[in-house]
């Protein structure tokens, strides 16, 4: 078993956070002895990793540039050496920077991750982008991209040699996220008892996720389909503004805010159609899960979304920030249940063909053994 330290800034709600939790919990199938390190303790996936009995360590950081980071870096170095960590695999900019530096100083091999397009990958921080590109990127042994779009953008903007960058899709537990025959019990558990169509969004509530666009499109659809429901799973800094928008548009009673749900496999079956209209997207776990559940998806025509969806076959691609086009596609699906079913079948087949777990586990095993072999 290869001792690997997965290092991430935090394990609260988010796609990368969920991914690290799943990766750590699945690690033995990849021949990995997992360890997880975080800069900020707490959160839904922090609890998930802890409950799984995986070694989980808090390396507190107030700021990457704060003097206290020195003591944290020393603690990280001690941990790597004490536990014989052979690979540090980091996620998110601050973890990529510190993990690369301390990993190399400790004699470990280093894998860094790129899971967003460069316009969003450094969270708008030119300083972080500069540090990564010119100081820590050259020290990494491998770079993991989770979509072809992310890989291409990484090569173009960050100057990595092609042999360093590896593509591995996120992968999905296709047993956990699988189609169900009867959605009614799942809807009843959410307090939905009518026969109207149910649209669903699973997303962080942040400006670039475009949840407000979905609400505006739904408000128009609701005029034609008064029994329709919109479910919003997730949370974030935009929640209060989104709630105010539902009141402004007069659809508060038909939109449910579900909060963060650790049991999404019990939420997706309540949906008839999944929606995600981000302005930018690397490779969305939520889209992947929805497709695995056999749902038709309507998502923005950006980034890795175009690799996942065959427009008109497994779902629809729409321009980001365009509630009118979104409304038209959703209305068409609402009125054509046979099309929804056919798209859902196509979506599930794509997931089984490209993102089933066993090939992904093998790809990670090959990545880690290749890194150790030099």
Summarised one tens digit per residue, pLDDT across range 55-105 is: 999 999 988 888 889 999 999 999 999 999 999 999 988 999 999 999 999
> Can you list the alpha helix ranges (DSSP code H) found in 9-147?
15-26, 44-51, 69-82, 93-105, 118-121, 126-131
pLDDT of 203 strictly over 60: yes
* Residues 245, 257 within the same domain: yes
- Residue pair 237/223 in contact (Cβ under 8 Å)? The answer is no
pLDDT of 116 strictly over 90: no
What are 288-300's pLDDT values in tens digits? 999 999 999 999 9
pTM: 0.82
* Residues 210, 287 within the same domain: yes
Model pLDDT, residue 365: 95
pLDDT of 122 strictly over 90: no
* Residues 200, 153 within the same domain: no
The crossing angle, in degrees rounded to 10, of helices 357-372 and 15-26 is: 80
- Residue pair 80/104 in contact (Cβ under 8 Å)? The answer is no
* Residues 23, 117 within the same domain: yes
- Residue pair 246/217 in contact (Cβ under 8 Å)? The answer is no
**Residue 179 located in a structural domain:** no
CA distance 76 to 15: 24
- Residue pair 76/94 in contact (Cβ under 8 Å)? The answer is no
**Residue 212 located in a structural domain:** yes
What are 281-332's pLDDT values in tens digits? 888 989 999 999 999 999 999 989 999 999 999 999 999 999 999 999 999 9
* Residues 113, 227 within the same domain: no
pLDDT of 268 strictly over 50: yes
Number of structural domains found in the chain:
2
Where residue 121 falls among pLDDT bands split at 50, 70, 90?
Answer: very low
pLDDT of 251 strictly over 60: yes
Model pLDDT, residue 198: 98
* Residues 212, 346 within the same domain: yes
The tokens for 207 are 């400006």
* Residues 204, 338 within the same domain: yes
* Residues 208, 275 within the same domain: yes
Once rounded to an integer, what is the mean pLDDT over residues 10-17? 87
* Residues 167, 276 within the same domain: no
Task: Give me the residue label for tokens 């540039």.
Answer: 65
Cα Rg of the chain (Å, integer): 21
**Residue 177 located in a structural domain:** no
* Residues 59, 190 within the same domain: no
Model pLDDT, residue 118: 61
Angle at 118 between CA 373 and CA 85, to 5 degrees: 30
Task: Give me the residue label for tokens 């510190």.
Answer: 98
Q: How many CA atoms within 13 Å lie on the side-chain side of 343?
A: 27
**Residue 130 located in a structural domain:** yes
| 267 three-class SS | coil
* Residues 350, 365 within the same domain: no
Model pLDDT, residue 119: 53
Where residue 279 falls among pLDDT bands split at 50, 70, 90?
Answer: very high
**Residue 178 located in a structural domain:** no
**Residue 147 located in a structural domain:** yes
Neighbours of 126 (CB within 10 A): 8
* Residues 127, 226 within the same domain: no
Q: In which domain, by residue range, is 203 found?
A: 184-354
Model pLDDT, residue 128: 77
Neighbours of 4 (CB within 10 A): 27
CA distance 351 to 293: 10
Model pLDDT, residue 176: 92
CATH code of the domain in which 345 resides:
3.40.50.2000
């Amino acid at each position: 078993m290869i001792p690997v330290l997965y290092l991430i800034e935090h394990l609260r709600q988010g796609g990368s956070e969920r991914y690290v939790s799943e990766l750590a919990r699945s690690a033995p199938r990849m021949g990995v002895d997992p360890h997880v390190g975080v800069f900020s303790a707490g959160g839904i996936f922090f609890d998930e990793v802890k409950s799984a009995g995986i070694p989980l360590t808090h390396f507190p950081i107030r700021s990457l540039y704060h003097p206290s980071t020195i003591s944290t870096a020393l603690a990280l170095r001690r941990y790597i050496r004490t536990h014989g960590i052979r690979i540090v695999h980091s996620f998110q900019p601050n973890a990529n920077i510190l993990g690369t530096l301390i990993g190399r100083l400790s004699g470990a091999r280093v894998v860094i991750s790129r899971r967003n397009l460069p316009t969003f990958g450094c969270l708008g921080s030119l300083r972080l982008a500069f540090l990564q590109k010119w100081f820590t990127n050259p020290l990494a042994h491998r770079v993991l991209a989770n979509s072809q779009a992310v890989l291409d953008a990484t090569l173009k903007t960050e100057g990595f040699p092609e042999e360093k960058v590896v593509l591995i899709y996120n992968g999905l537990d296709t047993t956990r996220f699988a189609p169900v025959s009867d959605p009614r019990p799942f809807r009843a558990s959410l307090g939905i008892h009518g026969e109207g169509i149910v649209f669903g969004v699973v997303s962080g509530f942040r400006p670039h996720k475009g949840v407000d666009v979905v609400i505006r499109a739904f408000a128009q659809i609701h005029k034609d389909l008064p029994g329709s429901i919109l479910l919003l799973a997730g949370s974030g800094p935009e929640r209060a503004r989104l709630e105010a928008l539902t009141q402004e548009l007069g659809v508060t009673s038909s939109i449910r805010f579900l909060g963060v749900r650790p049991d999404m496999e019990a939420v997706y079956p309540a949906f008839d159609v999944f929606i995600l209209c981000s302005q930018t997207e690397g490779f969305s776990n939520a889209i992947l899960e929805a497709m695995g559940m056999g749902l038709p998806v309507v998502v923005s025509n950006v980034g890795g979304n175009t690799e996942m969806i065959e427009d008109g076959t497994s779902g629809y691609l729409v321009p980001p920030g365009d509630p009118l086009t979104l409304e038209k596609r959703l209305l068409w699906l609402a009125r054509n249940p046979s099309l929804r079913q056919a798209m859902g079948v196509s979506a599930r087949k794509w997931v089984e063909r490209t993102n089933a777990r066993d090939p992904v586990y093998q790809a990670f095993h090959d990545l880690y053994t290749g890194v150790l072999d030099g």
